[in-house]
């Protein structure tokens, strides 16, 4: 497999390369996302490799319908996000600004085998992390209050591809485990809606600008 570049391309001097930086807050507790499945790495809760995987998924979700068959989709996906044969021209870096605070999402009251979840930690979303007193399994730790700086660099011709994936990931996805249940939700001032009142028009405009419709 060809090696990945040792450093980011210089987006300031190469007119064919775009480099953008975003500040992103994780606004709901983060579960998983570490090097070990299902656990949070307190030293590196946000990993560039995880972000790349999410962007790859959301690229399929937003741009995948443009291709006639799976073969064409996979070929284009490999050209953008990398494959066993070719490295990706998209470079992703994550710089932690705030590591947040780690804590168990639930606890077991004295004499009870039923967990008590923290306030604003809904059991229907977090039950896989509740642990078990009978089996002596503690509740899973999560992290709240994480903020990171995302730097992403890519060839100019991939602007629509990368832009659509990034916009969808920040607004409809998340980081870590159980993102479909609201865990690890993200907020970025540059990519998220400015207010509730104009969210419909904002959504339609973003779809158009991202080339999704």
> For residue 99, which of 140, 139, 144 has the smallest C-alpha distance?
144
pLDDT band of 30, cuts 50, 70, 90? very high
pLDDT of amino acid 38: 62
3-state SS, residue 194: coil
Q: What does the mean pLDDT of the chain come to?
A: 88
User: Once rounded to an integer, what is the mean pLDDT over residues 44-56?
Assistant: 90
At 147-174, the pLDDT tens digits run 999 999 999 999 999 999 999 999 999 9
CA 124, CA 95: separation in Å to the nearest integer? 32
Distance of CA 151 to the CA centre of its chain: 13
CA 76, CA 65: separation in Å to the nearest integer? 12
pLDDT of amino acid 18: 94
pLDDT band of 209, cuts 50, 70, 90? confident
CA 11, CA 21: separation in Å to the nearest integer? 11
Q: Which residues pair with 20 in a beta bridge?
A: 152
pLDDT of amino acid 160: 94
Kindly report the pTM of this predicted structure. 0.84
Is residue 203 within 8 A of residue 193, CB to CB? The reply is yes
Q: Is the pLDDT of residue 4 over 70?
A: no
pLDDT of amino acid 15: 86
Portion of the chain with pLDDT greater than 90, in percent: 57
- Burial of residue 115 (CB within 10 Å: 0-12, 13-18, 19+) is buried
153 Cβ partners below 8 Å, 6+ apart?
8, 9, 11, 17, 18, 19, 20, 90, 91
End-to-end CA distance of the chain: 35
> For residue 193, which of 209, 181, 182, 206 has the smallest C-alpha distance?
206
pLDDT of amino acid 11: 47
> For residue 47, which of 168, 176, 144, 141 has the smallest C-alpha distance?
176
At 176-193, the pLDDT tens digits run 888 989 999 999 999 999
Q: Where are the alpha helices (DSSP H) in the chain?
A: 48-63, 70-81, 123-126, 159-172, 199-209
User: Once rounded to an integer, what is the mean pLDDT over residues 101-125?
Assistant: 90
At 57-83, the pLDDT tens digits run 999 999 998 899 999 999 999 999 998
Angle at 90 between CA 89 and CA 96, to 5 degrees: 145
pLDDT of amino acid 164: 95
Higher pLDDT, 3 or 121: 121
Is residue 173 within 8 A of residue 58, CB to CB? The reply is yes
């Amino acid at each position: 497999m060809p090696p990945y570049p040792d450093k980011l391309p210089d987006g300031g001097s190469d007119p064919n390369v775009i480099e953008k930086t975003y500040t992103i807050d994780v606004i709901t507790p983060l579960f998983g996302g570490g090097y070990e499945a299902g656990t949070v790495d307190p030293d590196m809760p946000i990993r560039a490799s995880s972000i790349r995987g999410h962007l790859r998924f959301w690229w399929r979700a937003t741009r995948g319908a443009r291709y006639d068959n799976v073969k064409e989709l996979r070929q284009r996906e490999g050209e953008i996000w990398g494959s066993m044969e070719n490295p990706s021209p998209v470079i992703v870096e994550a710089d932690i600004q705030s590591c947040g605070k780690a804590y168990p999402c639930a606890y077991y009251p004295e004499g009870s085998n039923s967990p008590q979840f923290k306030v604003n930690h809904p059991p229907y979303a977090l039950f896989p992390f509740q642990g078990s007193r009978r089996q002596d399994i503690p509740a899973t730790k999560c992290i709240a209050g994480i903020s990171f700086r995302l730097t992403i660099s890519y060839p100019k011709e991939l602007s629509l591809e990368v832009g659509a994936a990034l916009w969808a990931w920040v607004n409809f996805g998340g980081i870590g485990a159980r993102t479909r249940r609201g865990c690890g939700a993200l907020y970025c001032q540059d990519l998220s809606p400015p207010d509730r009142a104009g969210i419909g028009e904002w959504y339609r405009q973003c779809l158009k600008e991202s080339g999704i419709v």
